Amino acid sequence: MKKMKIKAINIIAVTIVAFVSFSFTTKDIDTKTMTIEKSKVVWKAYKVTGSHTGVITLKEGSLTFKKGKLIGGNFTIDMTTITNTDQSGEYKQKLEGHLKSDDFFGVKNYPTATLVFNKVKTLGKNSYTVAGDLTIKDITKAINFEISIYGNKATASLKVDRAKYNVRYGSTSFFDNLKDKAIYDEFDLIVDLEF
């Protein structure tokens, strides 16, 4: 009887310690959901004869903080929303159609891309380095970048090598003798987030 009483007390003690630890752990962690309509992703791609810019919409996203410090993030990009902003009319429509086609991002088969933060290191008061996984066309590759956070806003700039994701059109990584038709493999994503 005495042994059963001690066992019951031990179980209660372990349960209380676990509950208290869990309470403090989850209280310290805060996940902030992005406000999609106030967040913006700008892309800029380069070719031998110039460049093009545009925007793409976040489908969803969140940043995770522990005691006010960034520890994680998770984003889904709606690839069907690729828009060109430096042209108009027929040229704009042609470029947007081409970017959505199988020559580039094949959005019919791959409507989303994802970015997952794997490791976050503090650089300064408001800045961090992130090691993450970027998935485009169901191909996942590691990516590193910096992110800055001020209040309820975050900014980041990513360099993406499209050749790693089998985006071949006009790439010197896949084709020879492109000359002035060549499109550089690396493109920029400039991200402004609000949460």
Q: What is the pLDDT of residues 3-17, one digit of tens each?
A: 544 544 545 544 444
Q: Which residues contact 90 (CB under 8 A, 6 or more apart)?
A: none
Q: Is 14 among the domain residues?
A: no
Q: Which domain holds residue 70?
A: 30-194
pLDDT given for residue 170 in this prediction: 77
Q: Is 23 among the domain residues?
A: no
Q: Is 1 among the domain residues?
A: no
Q: What is the pLDDT of residues 137-193, one digit of tens each?
A: 999 999 999 999 999 999 999 999 999 999 988 777 777 766 666 889 999 999 999
Q: What total number of domains does the chain contain?
A: 1
> Token digits for 153?
């806003």
| Residue 44's CATH number | 2.40.128.110
